[in-house]
Chain A
Amino acid sequence: AQTVTQSQPEMSVQEAETVTLSCTYDTSESNYYLFWYKQPPSRQMILVIRQEAYKQQNATENRFSVNFQKAAKSFSLKISDSQLGDTAMYFCAFTDSGGGADGLTFGKGTHLIIQP
């Protein structure tokens, strides 16, 4: 069974700083997909970024980028120029490529606080 581990329960940084959230996973699959979701106080789950394991290039979305290390099974999220609106729970999630029907396996989340 796949597992996803987020080792940082909570992080706090100053506005405009760069912050990196860690995620490791365990799988025997060779092809799979990794995601970072953001959950603000409203509790709506919002996709931040997506990475396909067969792509070596790290995904980027504006201020958000990932460092995907397949051999190390590591998938960290970097937030540049952090903003107050980035305050939220961040979840790392995994799914294999099995026809797209399988659900996501989530880590327990990191509570990120951006201080003014």
Chain B
Amino acid sequence: SQTIHQWPATLVQPVGSPLSLECTVEGTSNPNLYWYRQAAGRGLQLLFYSVGIGQISSEVPQNLSASRPQDRQFILSSKKLLLSDSGFYLCAWTKAGGPADTQYFGPGTRLTVL
């Protein structure tokens, strides 16, 4: 069966510091991968998605970036964090190709920028 991991689970970082959040999927190959952010009391906002290694699409202009160095690894990064980057970050995957399929979510990372 497929599983999705995210780490760290919780992170507290000062403003201006770098960020690296990691997401990995097991039990499938060539998944579509997604990063979402959930601000306090709000729904999820799609940040990036990827249909393959090195292929990244950005939905929202911001100081975050994403990379996919391996088939089942998706990384969210920032060179300098802002206070507004605080939130809950969720990674998700779905099967590639064919009709739109259900997205399965990881456990999330709670990021607090101070």
Q: Which residues of A contact B (CB under 8 A)?
A: 4, 32-33, 35, 37, 42-47, 50, 52, 91, 93, 95-109
Contacts and interface: CB of A to CB of B under 8 A. Distances in A.
7 contacts: A33-B100, A35-B102, A42-B107, A45-B90, A97-B100, A101-B49, A103-B59
Nearest to A54: B99
Interface of B: 32, 34, 36, 38, 42-46, 49, 51, 59, 88, 90, 92, 94-105, 107-108, 110
Given A43-B108, A47-B104, A97-B99, A103 B43 contact: no
Nearest to A108: B43
Nearest to B38: A43
Contact of B49 (A52, A97, A103): A103
B56 to A, nearest CB: 12
A-B residue pairs, 9 tightest by C-beta? A103-B46, A45-B105, A106-B43, A106-B44, A108-B43, A100-B100, A33-B100, A95-B100, A101-B51
Contacts of A4: 43
